[in-house]
Copies of this chain bind each other. A is one copy, B any other.
Amino acid sequence: MNALSRIVIIGSGAAGMSAASRAKRLKPSNDVIVIDSSRWVSFAFCGLPYLVGGEVKDLDELLYYPPSEFTKRGIDLRLNKTVIEVDPDSKKLIYVDNSTGTKESLEWDKLVLATGARSKAPKLWPEIRGARNVFYIVHMESGQQIRDYARSLGPGKRAVVIGAGYLGLEMADNLAKLGLKVTIIEALGQVAPRMLDPELAKIVEDNIRSKGVEVVTGAAVERFNIINNTATEVVTSKGTYQGDMFVVGVGIEPNNELAKQLGLKLGQSGGIIIDERTLTSNPDVYAAGDVTEHKDLVTGQLVWRPFAQIANKMGHVTGSNLGGVDSVFLGSVGTSAFKVFDVVAARTGLSASEASKVGFKPVEVSLEAGTKAHYIPGGSKISLKVVADEKTGRLLGAQAVGFDETAFWRINVVASLLTRGGTVWDLFNADYGYQPLLSPVWDPLVIAARLLMRTFGERPW
């Protein structure tokens, strides 16, 4: 080994490139090498639906920075190369060039696993492997392939989207924008099942249906029927649905092959368990992003949350620690959001039923209110639920569905309070601004607090 400290980062997505940039910038003597099996760096998977729908014109627009930017920063990028072996004892790895098949080995002082998540689709339904019209997100090209295929079909043909989570819904929205007829198939009994309570999900579903999209819930996909490498229909527990193309928007898992090779401690999801400095159970191996589990700040339990903003923060923390700045990622509270068709939905923390499951005694309030002053034309309604703990008055979570961006922002406000252990009285007292064009004088958040205080009383305990 040379005198430099060599940091090898596997994975060039949000977490990997955040870590790489920071480790190099804080300590230029670090030798930072990033290896990825794709040709892409610093890519935004979350933008793929908008590439499909055409709002984003070109795949390159989805890069936060082009590869050249990282090379300029002194980072050694080795793209289109797949790591096939890692050995924790010799601290050596072997990667293969995807084009030439050439193998190379590389030693590390510190390793960072930022290998992200992968689709379970080909494992769940092996028959789709050869099918040219069944898609799922593997790499950035997947977005382009979906778009190109959808355009080649043209308006009037039918796309079947498997899964009504946020990715499935966003894909459905964007496929509909291209003029395709769209069917959404969801195994559970409602859309956005991991995010929203049924009555809020209903608002989303009604809006989607009103756009002519067929929504089928309670339909578990059993198999795809494929003729001549072309899927013609999907067989579900509820019936068979025909389509001209199929997009699988469900079923991802931590991409943990290398973590297993390294013998790292994994959590229940298969994600790598890391400490607050993002260090794994191996003191020379960090991990960040979608391949890791982290702490939920409401329950204290480990969770797997493959979200880009969390991956970026984690990567930042990893890079800081590798650059000599003591840094911590404390956890998250489970904030997520989507915007599909006319609807904005967001949630943070726990639902009442989730709260019960982990031992809280939840008190829940529910309301519908205007998002702007009542006398301002163009305001809309927000449906809001807030959950608090009966024993302490601590806020546990909130969900909102509305027709403007304030549903997202009101949930961000609750998320901030959750991060800080806020209570129902904080929800009342928090000094939200008021301006008639922007909000009503009694903000829905304050109305929710007032409803909660019927149970908790109006003076903080």
Contact: B420 with A376, CB < 8 Å? no
Contact: A419 with B408, CB < 8 Å? no
Q: A418 with B431: in contact, given A406-B405, A409-B409, A460-B328 (CB under 8 Å)?
A: yes
A359 near B: Cβ within 8 Å?
A: no
A183 near B: Cβ within 8 Å?
A: no
Chain B residue nearest to A334 in the complex (CB) = B431
Cross-interface CB contact of A337 among B61, B316, B428, B434, cutoff 8 Å: B434
Which of A110-118, A209-217, A438-446 contacts the other chain?
A: A438-446
Cross-interface CB contact of A420 among B61, B422, B442, cutoff 8 Å: B422
CB interface residues, A 389-428, toward B, < 8 Å: 405-406, 408-409, 411-413, 415-422, 425-426, 428
CB interface residues, A 169-202, toward B, < 8 Å: none
Cross-interface CB contact of A431 among B14, B333, B374, B422, cutoff 8 Å: B333
In the assembly, how many copies of this chain are there?
2
A452 CB → nearest B CB, Å: 13
Interface string of A301-335 (1 = CB under 8 A from B): 00000011110110011001000011111111111
CA distance A312 to B436 in the complex (A): 14
Interface string of A324-359 (1 = CB under 8 A from B): 011111111111111100001010100000000000
Cross-interface CB contact of A408 among B408, B438, B441, cutoff 8 Å: B438
A306 CB → nearest B CB, Å: 12
A123 near B: Cβ within 8 Å?
A: no
Contact: A434 with B307, CB < 8 Å? yes
A397 CB → nearest B CB, Å: 11
Contact: A312 with B442, CB < 8 Å? yes
Contact: B436 with A46, CB < 8 Å? yes
A432 near B: Cβ within 8 Å?
A: yes
A399 CB → nearest B CB, Å: 12
Contact: B44 with A441, CB < 8 Å? yes
Chain B residue nearest to A331 in the complex (CB) = B429
CB interface residues, A 39-87, toward B, < 8 Å: 44, 46-47, 50, 55-56, 61-62, 64
- Known contacts A307-B434, A420-B422, then 7 further A-B pairs from the complex at CB < 8 Å, ordered by chain A residue: A325-B457, A326-B458, A328-B459, A331-B429, A337-B434, A416-B426, A419-B429
23 contacts between A and B (CB under 8 A): A44-B373, A44-B375, A44-B436, A44-B441, A47-B373, A47-B376, A61-B375, A309-B446, A316-B450, A326-B457, A326-B458, A328-B459, A332-B431, A335-B433, A337-B435, A337-B438, A338-B435, A339-B437, A346-B433, A348-B431, A408-B435, A413-B413, A420-B426
